[in-house]
Structure 1
């Protein structure tokens, strides 16, 4: 059998093979909705926050159709073709959520409805989509847009599932938005984002102002194999 050097070489080779794969360039887009039939003075009754890879790029007062762009990406994407369609769809989502909220709303027990729509595009082009719904800050119901399954995560989500889970029109709408519209928006956004990064990384410009999380993940992914390799060398040769 080989000596310590052989074992060391095998283990180092194993680490290289294991960690040499390029980390996935997955990207995600999600929108947080808040519907409050009885907002505090000066507060909107309908709010939306848009995120690309956890970067907040817009805040939308969907009651008054007022948009605030919170990053350079937001200012950039408002010029793409999909923008007007996206705003219309966000309005449709608002109407669905509002109808649902008003149905259960009472003066003695006001309810604030939260919803999150998420779509994720993996580097292998696989698309996943989902929704989460909650009341008064407690997320209670999850909808998997890929398989159409509803999951109650908290007792407060049972009556929401009874309402929406049996409504084919609502289910179809949720799947269409999170598996069709959302990935198309994300793809359009990422084209602009990548152009922004290339421009900001040019010698005549300053450092990038927008950093995709995938870039940070790639850098961090090499820390573990380096640490493990150093540990093995210390054990066998120390």
Structure 2
């Protein structure tokens, strides 16, 4: 009986170690762009929502350059000398997406009402120092296309992204812009943010969020890591249970 308790204690400790190391120090920064070619009088043609680790910290109107700081995280941005440069980059990205919209809009658009383009740029920094980035894009909240900049792979997740993929995959200027902003500037922003934010991220609760433009997608490497850890944990559990049962059975035979 004592051996069984020791084994179970070992199992609990092992699981704690495994799951406590699933990137507690990993962080990601996302900017969600919504491009509306036919905005109403009181609506922006381009709106950007910034979030870090699923916590929204600001919204930005590309046209008026108006910024709404939505949490203490956002208030910290005001004190950063690099923020003005970031707003220029966000505006340039909005301009690019607006220019591209006529060429990437699906030919067969049957939905009623105007079509809006959404794009989500995400860069992340893992606890092991690895960094990467990806872009998601779609229409009217429907994710259509995913571009992983780490391996240069395009994934079409909805037929509406076919024209978008064909256009951007063969447009060197657009590709270079996406890489420059996400693999260069976004990662630099995230590192600068974390200097001010790391303690706040561990203690602050998520603020009330605006509905995401394109549904957030966790970094693929994080999902793979979690799956591997779950499979490993299950294997360990089954192995220990089998070992305990085997030992008890052998003990019974010896006593008999």
Decide: shared fold, TM above 0.5: yes
Query: Retained in 2: the 8 A contact 1:146–1:175?
Result: no
Give 1:211 deviation, angstroms: 4.3
Sort the Cα spacing of 1:109 and 1:158 in 2 relative to 1 into closer, same or farther, 3 A.
farther
Aligned residues: 203
Write the mapping of 1:85-96 to structure 2, written as runs, cut at 5 A.
85-96=85-96
Paired residue for 2:150?
A: 146
Paired residue for 1:62?
A: 62
1:8 aligned to which of 5, 8, 32: 5
Query: Retained in 2: the 8 A contact 1:119–1:178?
Result: yes
Sort the Cα spacing of 1:12 and 1:180 in 2 relative to 1 into closer, same or farther, 3 A.
same
1:133 aligned to which of 130, 137, 152: 137
Q: TM-score, normalised by structure 2?
A: 0.71
* Deviations, residues 114-169 of structure 1 (Å, cap 9, x unaligned): 00001111100111211111012211000001111111000000000011011122
| Segments ≥4 residues shifted beyond 3 Å | 102-106, 194-198
Paired residue for 1:201?
A: none
Sort the Cα spacing of 1:84 and 1:39 in 2 relative to 1 into closer, same or farther, 3 A.
same
Query: Retained in 1: the 8 A contact 2:104–2:164?
Result: no
Sort the Cα spacing of 1:43 and 1:155 in 2 relative to 1 into closer, same or farther, 3 A.
same
* Deviations, residues 155-184 of structure 1 (Å, cap 9, x unaligned): 000000011011122112212211211111
Hey, what's the Cα distance between the residues in 2 that align with 1:62 and 1:90? 7
Instruction: Compute the RMSD of aligned alpha carbons.
Output: 2.7
Paired residue for 1:218?
A: none
Sort the Cα spacing of 1:197 and 1:137 in 2 relative to 1 into closer, same or farther, 3 A.
closer
Paired residue for 2:17?
A: 20
Write the mapping of 1:1-238 to structure 2, written as runs, cut at 5 A.
4-20=1-17, 22-23=20-21, 24=23, 25-103=25-103, 110-194=114-198, 210-211=204-205
Q: Secondary structure at the match of 1:123?
A: coil
Q: TM-score, normalised by structure 1?
A: 0.76
Hey, what's the Cα distance between the residues in 2 that align with 1:140 and 1:36? 17
What runs of 5+ residues in structure 2 fail to find an aligned partner?
A: 207-232, 246-256
Query: Retained in 1: the 8 A contact 2:35–2:117?
Result: yes
